[in-house]
Amino acid sequence: MRMKRGLILGVFSAKGGVGKTTTVANLGAALAQKLKNRVIIVETNMTASSLSLHLGILDPPVVIQDVVFGRLKVNDAITTTDYGLHIIPGSVAFTDKLGSIDLRGILDELTKKYDVIILDSAPGFGLEVFAGMKACDELLICCQPRVPAIAGTLQTFRAVDRLKIPVFGVVLNRITGKRFEIPTSDIKRTLGWPIIAEVPEDDMVAESVTRGVPVVLHAPNSPAAVEYRKLARAILTHLKARKRIAPRRKRWLRKRGRKVK
């Protein structure tokens, strides 16, 4: 059974380099193994795009910037892979002159066609980050077990709280277990949100990026791949729960004489 409307899930972190793009590529690839051709990953870092590189797409023929600047319809900006993951890449050339954008309006069309739409975002709190956040149904926050990344995560929580967007959980990435790292138990206590996956620092991730193949496909038994699959399972369970909730919500709306689409 296909859901009526796909879930727009964004991966965010104020701190750069903690693994947002790696998480989006691998979560997308792992989900696509179960939901072939029903998962799309979307670049929303308009000024410094890099998502397509993780899939080995170096010079994408169509890009999100074409859609944002009104040159292309969103459905015409999709690139497909032979493993069932779809992507709207970004221009790897530098892009500036970005005004305010309504990404929700642009991406809504994709919710008719895909079960999950995963957004990769820029770090910080620029215009494009807020445009991405506002487009999301739920968020995953990416964090590294180090002080600056945890501070960035707390800032991100404050921002999403203001926008009232639900957080699904935290992906803790690049864990080395070295003595200067903050222990996971302390991070759980500090953040107060569930940690959905604990991805170790893994050389296979760097190798997979160089090869342009997500690590879940390039080295499926590597510790990072195992953890990314665990994250995908958590999202799949969440999607199934949404399906179960939907009919109940419809009954609730009908009872109150509301129109149900």
Ligand X SMILES: Nc1ncnc2c1ncn2[C@@H]1O[C@H](COP(=O)(O)OP(=O)(O)OP(=O)(O)O)[C@@H](O)[C@H]1O
Under the rule (CB under 5 A), what is the footprint of Mg ion? 20-21
Q: Which helix (H) or strand (E) holds 183?
A: none
**Considering only residues 11-30, where is the footprint of ligand X by CB under 6 A?**
13, 16-22
Handedness of CA 234, 240, 241, 246 (dihedral sign): positive
The yes or no reply on residue 218 touching ligand X (CB under 6 A) is no
Among 10, 60, 90, 123, binds ligand X (CB under 6 A): 123
Work out what residue 65 binds among ligand X, Mg ion, none; the CB cut-off runs from 5 to 8 Å by kind. none
CB of 186 vs Mg ion, minimal distance in Å? 26
C-alpha span between 172 and 226 (Å, rounded)? 14
To the nearest 10 degrees (0 to 180), the angle between helices 147-163 and 184-191 is 30
C-alpha span between 67 and 63 (Å, rounded)? 7
> In terms of Cα–Cα distance, which of 182, 198, 195, 185 is closest to 150?
182
Of the CA atoms within 13 Å of residue 100, those in its CB half-sphere come to 2
Largest alpha-carbon pair distance within the chain? Answer: 59
Work out what residue 87 binds among Mg ion, ligand X, none; the CB cut-off runs from 5 to 8 Å by kind. none
The yes or no reply on residue 174 touching ligand X (CB under 6 A) is yes
* Cβ-based nearer residue to Mg ion, 89 or 115: 89
CB of 250 vs ligand X, minimal distance in Å? 38
CB of 45 vs Mg ion, minimal distance in Å? 6
Work out what residue 22 binds among ligand X, Mg ion, none; the CB cut-off runs from 5 to 8 Å by kind. ligand X
φ, ψ for residue 117, nearest 5 deg: -120, 115
* Cβ-based nearer residue to ligand X, 149 or 239: 149
Q: In what order do the strands lie in the sheet with 195-200?
A: 79-80, 85-88, 39-43, 116-120, 7-12, 138-143, 167-175, 195-200
* Cβ-based nearer residue to ligand X, 38 or 218: 218
CB of 129 vs ligand X, minimal distance in Å? 10
* Cβ-based nearer residue to Mg ion, 65 or 239: 65
The yes or no reply on residue 222 touching ligand X (CB under 6 A) is no
Interface contacts to ligand X, rule CB under 6 A: 13, 16-22, 123, 173-174, 199, 201-202, 205-206, 209, 224
